[in-house]
Structures are given as C-alpha cells and as structure tokens.
Structure 1
Amino acid sequence: MSLTRVQFFSISLDGFGTGEGQTLEAPFGHAGERLHEWMFATRQWRGPDQPGGSGGVDDLFVKQHDQGIGAEIMGANKFGPRGWHEDPEWKGWWGPNPPFHTPTFILTHHAHPPIEMEGGTTFHFIDATPAEALKTAREAAGGKDVRIGGGATVIRDFLAAGLIDHMHIVVVPILLGRGVRLWDGLEGLENDYQIEAISSPSGVTHVTFTRTGA
C-alpha cells in the first residue's frame, strides 16, 4: 500500500509551523519567510537559473519533493488567506504552474469546482475527515504515496488519527512565540515512530519519523 508522508515541514524551536496574522501579503503571518530560508537557499530550489545554492543534507531532502508522490492533501489556510473562497479568481499562492504536479485535495467546508492548473496540478475541494480524504487521495494517486502538505493543523489532525507513515520535520533555530503549533495534543507520539535527527550546517535540524512496521 502507498505511504502517507509529510515532507520537510518547517517549525520553530517552540513548535510553531506558521506565525500569527496570515494575510494575502504575509502567507506565514509574522514569521515571514524565516521558517523556509534554509530551503530557498538550496541548489534544488534555486534551480539552474540561479547558481550558487547550497548543497549537502538540505539539498538532498529538497530533491525528494516529487519522488513517489501521486497526490497531495492540504488545508484551506495553506491554499489561500481567509476568505479566498469568495474570490472567483483565486487559484492559490503559487502562480499558473504550482509545484505539486498531482491531484491536490483542499480540505474546506466551502464547495468549489475543481481548478486545473499547468504542470499536472488539479485542485479539488472536499469536505471530509482525515480518513475520508486519505481514501479519496489514494484512489487518485494510482498506487503512489500521498503527501500531507500542511498546514500544522492538518498535519496534527492526521497524526492524531494515526494516518502518517513517514514524516520529515525541519526544526529551524528561531522562536516565534505565537501562531499555529504542531505538537499540541500529541503527547507520546514518539512511541509509534522510529526517530532520527540530522543537523545541517545551515543551522536547521532534520527530524524524520518512520512509523514502526511501516
């Protein structure tokens, strides 16, 4: 069976996956881009048009973004700012060719027709529990893995339901103090996973969780 995965989801030292005060101009609230600067600096992210990016462990993890992924699930607040469903022109933060290249399922209570984008991404909007959403995404993934893309609340809900097989969390050495925290209500989670940590010269720590027996 395909795996359910979280890839390089960044959190602060105090466990926040996004800052407070998300707006159209500030998708991650007061955190800005600080949680993701390590990723933006890699060779893989910068691409051939912007030489000089960093290599090493950060780059190796970013290179895994598309490997084996057949579908994605994300929350409504990752797809857009509050009220996006009232804007008929809104198609996400990522421009005409989003970086997903798969069927992508948005968890929302607001009905919306699918949006087909360039590069193989089609956004589908569903009102479903984590288990129901995963079943739908697996059917669309064609035997490949399903990525749980975030935000923190969605990942936490899937973890609480016992649905995550492999998770890669990047701990960034900043303190946010407020926002949406990943780990709340998940005491004892470590008992279900084999956990490994790798430190990077960039200052971040890559922590992987592999479900025991997965």
Structure 2
Amino acid sequence: MSRTRVTSFAISLDGFGTGEPQTRETPFGHAGERLHEWMFATRWWRGANEPGGSRGVDDAFARQFEPGIGAEIMGANKFGPPGWHEDPDWKGWWGPNPPFHTPTFVLTHHAREPIEMEGGTTFYFVEGTPQEVLEQVREAAGGKDVRIGGGATIIRDFLSAGLIDHLHVVQVPILLGRGSRLWDGLEGLEKDFDVEAVTSPSGVTHLTFTRTEG
C-alpha cells in the first residue's frame, strides 16, 4: 500500500512553517525565503544547468522530494494568497510548469474546474475530511506514495488523523514569532514514530518521523 509522506517541510526554531501576512508578493509572509535558503544552495535545486551547489546532507534530503510520489495534497493557502479563488486566471505561484509533476489536489471550499499545467501537473480542487480526500488521492497516485505538501495546517490535520507514515521536517535556525505553526495540538506525537535527527553544516537540522509498526 502506498505511504503518505511529508518531504522537506521547513519550520523555524519556534515551529512556524510560514510567516505573515501572506500576499501575492510574499507567499511566506515576513519569513521571505529564509526558511528555504538551505534548499536553494543544493546541487539538486540548482540542477544540471547551473554550476555549484552543495552535495552534502541537505542535497541528499532534498533529492527525496520527487522519487516514488504519485500525487500531492496541499492546502488552499499553499496554492494561493487569500482571495485567490476570486481570480479565474490564478494558477498558483509556480508558473506554467509547477514542480509537482503529478496530480495535485488542493483542499478548498471553493469549487473550480481542474487546471492542467505543463510537466504533468494537474490541479484538482476538492473538499472533504483528511480521510475522504486521502482515499480519493490514493487512487490517482496509482500505487505510489502521496505527498502531503503543506502548509502547516494541512500537515497538522493529517498528523492529528494518524494518516502520515513518514514526516521530514527541516528545522531552520531562525525565529519568526508569528505565522502558521506546525506542532500546535500535537503533544505526544513522538510516541507514534521513530524519530531521527541529522544536523547539517548549513545550520539546519533534518528531523525524520517514521511511523512505528503495530
């Protein structure tokens, strides 16, 4: 059976996965790009056409983003800023070829026809409980894993429902003070997972939570 995974979800030391306010110009609010600078420095991110990039721990974790993923679930606030549903031309922040390359399901109360993009990404707009949506998305994933792409609220909801098998969180050494927090209401979460931590010379810590059997 396919697994449900979170890959490379970055949070601050105080647990925020994004800052505020979120706008078209600032998808991560006052956090800017600081949560993701570790990834931008990797060889994986820069690709074959750009020289340089780190090849160490950060690069190894970043490369786990795509292999084995058959579909993604994301929240409405990851797809767009507040009010995006009122703009019929809004197709996300990622341009004509988003990085997902799979069926991608946006959890929203606002119905919209699917949007087919370049590179294999098609956005579907769905509503339901985490259990209901995951059942639908697993069919689209064709036996591969389902990625829970964020933001923090969506990941928290799926964790609360016991639906995430593998969670990779990147703790970045910054303090945001406000925004959307990942860990709220998840006291004792670690009891259901094997937890490992790997530090990187970049200053981030990679935390992996793998659900225990039984």
Which TM-score bucket, shorter chain as reference? over 0.9
Alignment partners' CA distance in 1, 2:194 and 2:120: 34
The match for 1:48 is 48
1:20 shift after superposition: 1.3
* Distance in structure 2 (CA, Å) of the matches to 1:82 and 1:50: 34
Structure-to-structure mapping, 1:7-156, within 5 angstroms = 7-156=7-156
What letter corresponds to residue 110 of structure 1 in structure 2? Answer: H
SS of residue paired to 1:178:
coil
Percent identity over paired residues: 78
How far is the alpha carbon of 1:64 from its aligned partner? 1.3
**Match of residue 193 from structure 2:** 193
Give the TM-score, by structure 1 length.
Answer: 0.99
Q: Distance in 2 between matches of 1:169 and 1:213?
A: 21
In the alignment, structure 1 segments of 5+ residues that lack a partner are none
Q: Larger deviation: 57-66 or 172-181?
A: 57-66
Aligned pair count reads 214
Coordinate RMSD, CA, aligned: 0.7
Are residue 212 (structure 1) and residue 199 (structure 2) matched? no
User: C-alpha distance in 1, partners of 2:129/2:106?
Assistant: 12
How far did residue 121 of structure 1 move? Answer: 0.4
CA displacement, residues 54-75 of structure 1 (integer Å, 9 cap, x when unaligned): 1101001111111100000000
Q: How far apart are the structure 2 equivalents of 1:103 and 1:185?
A: 30
Superposed CA deviations along residues 36-86 of structure 1, whole A, max 9, x for unmatched, are 000011000011222111110100111111110000000000000011111
Aligned-partner SS, 1:157: helix
Q: Which letter does structure 2 place at the counterpart of 1:67? A: P
TM-score normalised by length of structure 2 = 0.99
